[in-house]
Amino acid sequence: EKAGVDWYVRESQISRLKNIIRRSLKKINFPENEVSAAAYSLSFCVAKISYEKDCDERREKGIMSVNKTQKNLFEKVWRERE
């Protein structure tokens, strides 16, 4: 069973993912002036998919329903990063 804060709301993990994406984009000669925006967009999409998958798994297992606090935390973390 997982414990603690999920990766998609931890600043260090979000930054790590964005750096991996940035490096990958630069390796394939992605336009330099669009790398940061693309890294943000891709990391947000991955985080949102992961968040939704975690919510679905919790509902299926009956462990807990997704409460507004958890949803607000996800939205707050990602809104601050824009």
Residue of 63 and 65 predicted with greater confidence:
63
Q: What is the pLDDT of residue 80?
A: 66
What's the average model confidence in pLDDT over 44-69? Answer: 77
Chain segment 6-41, per-residue pLDDT in tens: 788 888 888 899 999 999 999 999 999 999 999 989
Terminal C-alpha separation, the chain: 32
Residue of 72 and 4 predicted with greater confidence:
72
Q: What is the pLDDT of residue 81?
A: 62
Closest CA to 47 of 11, 3, 22, 23: 11
What's the average model confidence in pLDDT over 49-66? Answer: 77
